[in-house]
Structure 1
Amino acid sequence: RLPSIGDDSECGQDDMGDQPGVNSVVKVFCTHSEPNYSAPWSSKPQISSTSTAFAFTVDGSAEERPSRQLLLTNAHSVKHAAVIQVKTRGSSAKVVCRPLCVASECDLAILEPLLEEGDARAKEFWDTLEPLKLARKLPKLGDDVTVVGYPVGGDNTSVSQGVVSRIDLQEYTAHGSAGAPRLLAIQIDAAINPGNSGGPAVDNNGRCIGVAFQALRGEGTENISYIIPTEIVKHFLEDFQKHGKYTGFGDAGFVAQPLESAYIRKALGMPANFTGVRVRRVDATAPAAEILKVGDVVTSVGEYQIANDGTVPFRQGERIPFSYLLQRHFVGDTVPIGIRRNGNSEMLSLKLSKADPLVPVEPRYGPEYLIVAGLVFLPLTEPFLLCEYGDNFESEAPRKSADDEVVILHQVLASELTVGYHDIKCLQLAKLNGVQVKNLRQLADEVARIELEASDESMMTFELVNGDVVVIPVKQAMQANEEIMKRNKIAKRMNLRE
């Protein structure tokens, strides 16, 4: 072929073609349309981002599920995507993709290019790419690693090199949510910059040992980057193949207290040859509530003994929190655990659940809301807290029942009926006409019942947790709803999940 501009040789030899992973990556162009949780009937202005993805092969398990090639990237790279496009190395043409599965919890997403099978364009696209194989084992400390991707600052492929520094559990969410699980992560000293997200980290044999997803930046930190190990990637892919969607990582359903104090071990009557952790809280909606009690001591998971600091043996010379053993399983799996209760040892079967905090980290549905005479109610979620207050918030609480939500009076839209209430903002709703409010759906049903049975003198009394009350005449509210929504350009009075 004719040499390209910039070729050093007459034959136009590819100087980067032999770099591991270089021929496996694509540049991702995404337009994001993020919901506006502060005004849940609207969206924020669209923004654009670039990142990286790489080709891999999903092995077929039967004739009806043949092997196929797909792209893997980070969930945050395509979150709230309106349009996703990718471009292969050296190409000027972009290909539209659709997300098959997005899992923010482990920051992974599967993309499928929208190309007709047998089309020449599809053949050209996949012929350009070399699917990466996932490493079977975790790398060793000090192993070489090469990160391939498209960081900001240029359009061409970039490679950065470093070594594996540490392997431990880390929070995958950027804002360090209290409700998000800590999953296995690999720390490296190779540079990971914006745009590298979703790119492969490969070893000297060209095998993918992880997916780039974040870097630690701030005063006193230097060359601290993280990749998602293939152990997490394989769990995500197997989950998708088994269930057709992401179901999550196994969770114990209880909160444990370390027993490093000799005094507390003595108070619990633990023999000197026993170690473990005390059950501090059991989530009422988790299967663990059927077999565990507060005060139980969990001594083992499977064949692994839990130390008094809550860790189990990991690799030679390393230890890791015992939750790691549970995260290797799927939600609904059963694992054997050893406990001490009232001085006796028992073996129990613990069915794993999915962590389900009262204030959801990632709501399974879009923003929900209910408007009553200008009063805007919505369930409390972490995306709302981030939207209102930024990263500086904390929230963690167990649900007492599966349908529990924290419903808040978010804002008061101006109308004659809401005069005097305009300073009320972001307060939890406790009761409506004396009825305890459990969730937004129940509140909507209660409002509908009150409206149906209303007389000219009927009132709705909203009791807030700080002691304030909001009193609204029912008939006037029903008449005012449409005008209030029209004035504020709100298409629907409510948005509730089915």
Structure 2
Amino acid sequence: MTDRSFSFRSSVRDIVRKWVSCDKAYEEKEPDDGDFEECGREEDMPQCDAVVAVLCTVAEADVFYPWRRKQEPSYGAGLILSGRRVLTTAHSVDQYTQLEVGKEVWGPRYTATMLAVAPECDLAILTVHDDEFWNQVKPVEFGDMPSPGDKVIIDRLRKDEAYLPLVTACVLGLGMTRYSFWGTKLLAFRVNVGRNGASGGGPAFDERGKCVGLKLQSQGYRSGDFVPAEVIKHFIQDYDKNGAYTGLPLLSIKWQKMENPYLRMLMKMEHDEQGVLITEVGPNYPESVILKPNDVILSIDGININNDGTVPFLSGRRIEFGYLIGKKYVGDKIVIKVRRGIEICEFTTELATHKQFVPANIIGRPLRYYIIGGFVFTTLSFPCMEVMVLKTDINAGYETEFTLQNQVLVTFNDKPVEGLNSLVSMVETCNEDFMKFTFGNKKTLVLPTNIARSRTPDILKAHSISCAMSDDLKELVKLTRGEESPIYI
């Protein structure tokens, strides 16, 4: 990475004349580089003080070897908000150990502090306490959702150049998209960004100079998804109202389309009725009390849902009905109209946030782990959902057992495991001859208790591992055993 900061010194209005032509309809193909045009450098542009650089050092956790943390630099773009705040993308500051913001090319950097992070929508809010940073800056203004075929100005930050190239580009499409950082399905729009891509958090502007989105974590080669201003403003308003990020609301159901006429006939639907079929309702959510599998959702808040699961959207377009939920806030109430057999029912339910069992983001926190007898246990996470085996004689026969991968530990010696703390406490106090670990797929691992404990230090030494557990578990073991465990060595 080129060690630098950058700024967006441009008035977008002054480069509208540089627009290039592009197709008016979204096409399922990679865009050509001719679909965009570099339109200036920062030093050639009039001043615009809303865009800054976010630079940080990250200590990325290794999900396969959780005792390791590799430090490396990371960077992205940020936007000045009112109230001495900076908006950036969550993925650009993920697992940071040092966080800085700069506003001039090769200029000074200022220590930043994290105020809020929303991994579901890949957004974060920072602040800088140094008054000098806030001189001659002004908050960004947000625009409306662009349509397919609209032209936007984006940055295309290149690692090997000392300036910020600006390009005009074409919006290829918009809709509900699964954000790669967390996996949440939210509103997004897609833009062609060319061979060199766009920087993480890089902004897109409309012809009026208003920000219409921030670049999401990249998945494509020449196209990139942007979190739109609508989602950004929702996040900011949540923070302003509550003083913290409260999460995104969720209607915890699984559903299928009802485009097949025989399926609609089976569900007793009238000829002019449309909707989607509920196949599963998440437990422990408010809607689990009122909704049932095989209910047909006809409308939400009076907005009818088509058989393909879409509702009206901008300019006569349609979008997946989850968009209606994403516009709400945690605690808001919605009215759901359903067909249940021959009956039509209306229910009011309160929207809760994601009860995310899998802690997909590990921002700023080291991975937790525990090693016993060569088995490595860690908290479940998106990047790694498997058991790893450090080869040794006492676990022979398990190291090639692929059925252990992607499995959740359910019981230890036939007692439920509620989490890593629960497992560590039970293992450390085990007085039985054997330790039995049973997983969700009913597969079982067995270790002799005393041999596993005595051999663990040798296994750690053979694999150059300094400690059998993460730091947060050491105090737990001291309390559990009443003394410092020998497997610390």
Alignment of 1:299-378 (within 5 A): 299-356=298-355, 358-362=357-361, 366-378=366-378
Matched residue type, 1:459? F
| Residues 373 and 418 in structure 1, CA contact (< 8 A), matched pair in contact too | yes
| Residues 120 and 248 in structure 2, CA contact (< 8 A), matched pair in contact too | no
Matched residue type, 2:389? Q
Consecutive unaligned residues of structure 1, counting only runs of 5 or more, are 1-13, 58-67, 386-407
Q: Which residue number in structure 2 is paired with residue 443 of structure 1? A: 423
> Cα deviation per residue 1:432-456 (whole Å; 9 max; x = unaligned)?
32335454343333324424xx5xx
Say which of 119, 127, 133 aligns to 2:135: 127
Cα distance in 1 between the residues matched to 2:336 and 2:166: 45
| Residues 276 and 305 in structure 1, CA contact (< 8 A), matched pair in contact too | yes
- Per the TM alignment, residue 478 of structure 1 is displaced from its structure 2 partner at its CA by 4.2
- Per the TM alignment, residue 77 of structure 1 is displaced from its structure 2 partner at its CA by 1.2
Could you say if the C-alpha distance between residues 193 and 214 of structure 1 is closer, same or farther in structure 2, counting changes exceeding 3 Å? Answer: farther
Cα distance in 2 between the residues matched to 1:165 and 1:462: 50
| 2:114 counterpart SS class | strand
| Residues 389 and 398 in structure 2, CA contact (< 8 A), matched pair in contact too | no
| Residues 358 and 381 in structure 2, CA contact (< 8 A), matched pair in contact too | yes
Cα distance in 2 between the residues matched to 1:331 and 1:200: 27
1:433 correspondence with 2:413: yes
Could you say if the C-alpha distance between residues 280 and 214 of structure 1 is closer, same or farther in structure 2, counting changes exceeding 3 Å? Answer: same
- Per the TM alignment, residue 283 of structure 1 is displaced from its structure 2 partner at its CA by 1.0
Could you say if the C-alpha distance between residues 412 and 165 of structure 1 is closer, same or farther in structure 2, counting changes exceeding 3 Å? Answer: closer
Alignment of 1:416-427 (within 5 A): 417-418=394-395, 421-424=398-401, 426-427=404-405
| Residues 152 and 194 in structure 1, CA contact (< 8 A), matched pair in contact too | no
- Per the TM alignment, residue 378 of structure 1 is displaced from its structure 2 partner at its CA by 2.5
- Per the TM alignment, residue 134 of structure 1 is displaced from its structure 2 partner at its CA by 1.6
Give the number of aligned pairs. 428
Q: Which residue number in structure 2 is paired with residue 113 of structure 1? A: 128
> Cα deviation per residue 1:292-326 (whole Å; 9 max; x = unaligned)?
11010111011210011110011232000000000
Say which of 174, 187, 206 aligns to 1:167: 174
Say which of 202, 215, 220 aligns to 1:217: 220
| 2:325 counterpart SS class | helix
| Residues 371 and 494 in structure 1, CA contact (< 8 A), matched pair in contact too | no
| Residues 276 and 296 in structure 2, CA contact (< 8 A), matched pair in contact too | yes
- Per the TM alignment, residue 470 of structure 1 is displaced from its structure 2 partner at its CA by 3.7
1:460 correspondence with 2:467: no
- Per the TM alignment, residue 373 of structure 1 is displaced from its structure 2 partner at its CA by 3.2
Supply the RMSD in Å over aligned alpha carbons: 3.0
Q: Which residue number in structure 1 is paired with residue 4 of structure 2? A: none
Q: Which residue number in structure 1 is paired with residue 32 of structure 2? A: none
Consecutive unaligned residues of structure 2, counting only runs of 5 or more, are 1-41, 477-489
1:249 correspondence with 2:256: no
| Residues 361 and 382 in structure 1, CA contact (< 8 A), matched pair in contact too | yes
- Per the TM alignment, residue 482 of structure 1 is displaced from its structure 2 partner at its CA by 5.1
| 2:250 counterpart SS class | coil
Cα distance in 1 between the residues matched to 2:52 and 2:328: 31
Say which of 144, 152, 161 aligns to 1:145: 152
| Residues 278 and 295 in structure 1, CA contact (< 8 A), matched pair in contact too | yes
Matched residue type, 2:420? L
Cα distance in 2 between the residues matched to 1:363 and 1:93: 29
Q: Which residue number in structure 1 is paired with residue 484 of structure 2? A: none
| 1:168 counterpart SS class | strand
Say which of 42, 66, 79 aligns to 1:40: 66
Q: Which residue number in structure 1 is paired with residue 270 of structure 2? A: 271
| Residues 84 and 128 in structure 2, CA contact (< 8 A), matched pair in contact too | no
Could you say if the C-alpha distance between residues 111 and 465 of structure 1 is closer, same or farther in structure 2, counting changes exceeding 3 Å? Answer: closer
Cα distance in 1 between the residues matched to 2:335 and 2:63: 41
Q: Which residue number in structure 2 is paired with residue 401 of structure 1? A: none
